[in-house]
């Protein structure tokens, strides 16, 4: 398989019979990797050595079909197969198709859903599996960035299957394909999440009874607040982490915890170097109940989009649960993974940091009613004291002009990053 950006990808593919040929008085489907000459040699061998021609050929992997079935299989074999690919490290999705180019070959094209990445290549079937249960083939992809990927596809049926692989930098990829595959981003994201969960379940079984340990991961959000590469987030996002990584643009970097405050649920991380926009805090006027605000973050990582999510709402109260004045109550929808993300006013300045959402099930059991959009954010005054105490620089700006939510979200996305905690 080749992907059009220079990335060379070798993938083993298992197919089920896709080529039809008529041998003697019966019509047989020739498994990929076999030829007409192979069928005729097998037929001659079975003729002289076996009591049953049909059973002998079936034992060699050939499939007896009717003429109508043969014509349909031949037509089906030449139809394009839809393909989806998923970069586990960057959560990038590519979609494309495999076009029939011969009895054992297909040309491959893939395009990035959220990027300009494109890949082209081919898949060539080379070997039949034991027992006639499919065939194995070599696939190479070449992408513009030059990465090489090696992996495996497994056919669940004649026209669908899945696979996994890795490039030369050991970044992992998942693959899924099928004639009727839904290649919309949301559908593919859900399917790849299911594959990852199935894989994690298998890994868990491997370690569950052996006394060993395995890496557990959780996600959150942070945002860059200084030119020195300081990143603000919640303490609970990075608590007990053996390693914290942040997705900076297209790259994932290891981050260092340089300051933390458990009681106020705040932490500062640092990257080695950072060049780009940084968040600015609102520094001129107080926030009022009813003020509009925007939340940016990475909720439900691995399930929803890999891009930052932008939601709108308002400051609904100037205190949290039990009149705790460290918090705002906000109405913008948040989900697991939003923790540590910025809360911005309509000038694009940060006024707080997402910290929690009200447990709807607990409240429902206590009151008989399900609360709607009751979430909380740490106020800038608390953040300011924390940053000053630990000598972390930050910037402020006046909120003197109103922007559209789309403008604010686009700007904030440049300094808001997805965090991954590995325990």
Structure tokens of 409? Answer: 């979200």
Domain boundary among 191, 212, 233: 212
b/e per residue 319-343 (b: at least 16 CB within 10 A): ebeeeeebbbbbbbbbbebbbbbbb
Radius of gyration of the chain (CA): 28
Look at residues 307, 349, 347 and name the one whose alpha carbon lies nearest to residue 92: 307
Does one domain contain both 257 and 335? yes
Residue 329's CATH number? 2.40.10.120
Reported pTM: 0.51
Decide which of 249 and 95 is more confident. Answer: 95
pLDDT of res. 145: 80
Structure tokens of 266? Answer: 């705040």
Does one domain contain both 156 and 228? no
Q: Is the pLDDT of residue 157 over 70?
A: no
Does one domain contain both 81 and 173? yes
**Confidence class for position 1, pLDDT limits 50, 70, 90:** very low
Structure tokens of 58? Answer: 């079936």
Count how many domains the chain has: 2
Does one domain contain both 257 and 360? yes
- C-alpha–C-alpha distance, residues 187 and 217, integer Å: 23
- What mean pLDDT do residues 205-221 have? 56
CB of 318 closer than 8 Å to CB of 328: yes
pLDDT of res. 326: 93
Q: Is the pLDDT of residue 10 over 60?
A: no
Does one domain contain both 199 and 252? no
Does one domain contain both 327 and 365? yes
Q: Is the pLDDT of residue 301 over 60?
A: yes
pLDDT of res. 282: 93
Number of H helices, E strands in the chain: 8, 26
Structure tokens of 106? Answer: 């297909």
Domain boundary among 194, 212, 230: 212
**What is the domain range of residue 146?**
1-212
Decide which of 328 and 45 is more confident. Answer: 328
When mean pLDDT is compared across 202-206, 299-303, 399-403, the lowest value belongs to 202-206
Does one domain contain both 228 and 195? no
Does one domain contain both 237 and 297? yes
Does one domain contain both 226 and 267? yes
Does one domain contain both 47 and 195? yes
Does one domain contain both 318 and 189? no
Does one domain contain both 195 and 63? yes
């Amino acid at each position: 398989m080749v992907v059009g950006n220079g990335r060379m990808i070798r993938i083993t593919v298992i197919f089920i019979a896709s080529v039809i040929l008529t041998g003697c008085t019966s019509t047989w489907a020739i498994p990929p990797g076999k030829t007409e000459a192979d069928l005729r040699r097998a037929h001659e061998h079975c003729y002289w050595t076996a009591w049953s021609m049909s059973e002998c050929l079936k034992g060699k992997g050939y499939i007896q079909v009717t003429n109508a079935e043969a014509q349909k299989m031949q037509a089906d074999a030449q139809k394009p197969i839809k393909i989806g690919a998923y970069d586990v490290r960057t959560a990038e999705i590519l979609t494309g198709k495999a076009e029939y180019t011969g009895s054992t070959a297909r040309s491959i094209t893939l395009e990035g859903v959220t990027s300009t990445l494109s890949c082209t290549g081919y898949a060539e079937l080379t070997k039949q599996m034991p027992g006639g249960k499919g065939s194995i083939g070599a696939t190479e992809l070449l992408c513009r960035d030059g990465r090489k990927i090696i992996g495996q596809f497994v056919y669940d049926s004649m026209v669908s299957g899945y696979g996994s692989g890795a490039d030369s930098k050991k970044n992992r990829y998942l693959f899924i394909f099928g004639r009727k595959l839904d290649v919309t981003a949301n559908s593919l994201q859900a399917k790849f999440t299911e594959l990852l969960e199935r894989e994690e379940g298998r890994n868990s079984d491997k370690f569950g009874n052996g006394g060993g340990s395995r890496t557990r991961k959780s996600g959150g959000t942070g945002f860059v607040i200084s030119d020195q590469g300081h990143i603000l987030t919640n303490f609970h996002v990075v608590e007990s982490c053996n390693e914290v990584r942040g997705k900076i643009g297209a790259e994932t970097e290891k981050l260092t915890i340089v300051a933390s405050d458990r009681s106020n649920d705040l932490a500062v991380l640092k990257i080695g170097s950072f060049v780009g926009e940084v968040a600015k805090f609102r520094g001129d006027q107080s926030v009022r109940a009813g003020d509009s605000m925007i939340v940016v973050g990475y909720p439900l990582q691995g399930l929803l989009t890999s891009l930052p999510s932008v939601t709108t709402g308002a400051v609904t109260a100037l205190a949290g649960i039990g009149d705790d004045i460290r918090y705002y109550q906000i109405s913008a929808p948040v989900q697991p993974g939003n923790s540590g993300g910025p809360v911005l006013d309509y000038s694009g300045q940060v006024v707080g940091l997402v910290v929690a959402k009200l447990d709807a099930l607990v409240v429902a059991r206590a009151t008989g009613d399900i609360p709607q959009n009751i979430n909380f954010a740490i106020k800038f005054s608390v953040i300011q004291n924390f940053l000053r105490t630990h000598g972390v620089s930050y910037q402020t700006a006046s909120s003197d002009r109103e922007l559209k939510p789309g403008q604010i979200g686009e700007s904030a996305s440049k300094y808001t990053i997805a965090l991954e905690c590995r325990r």
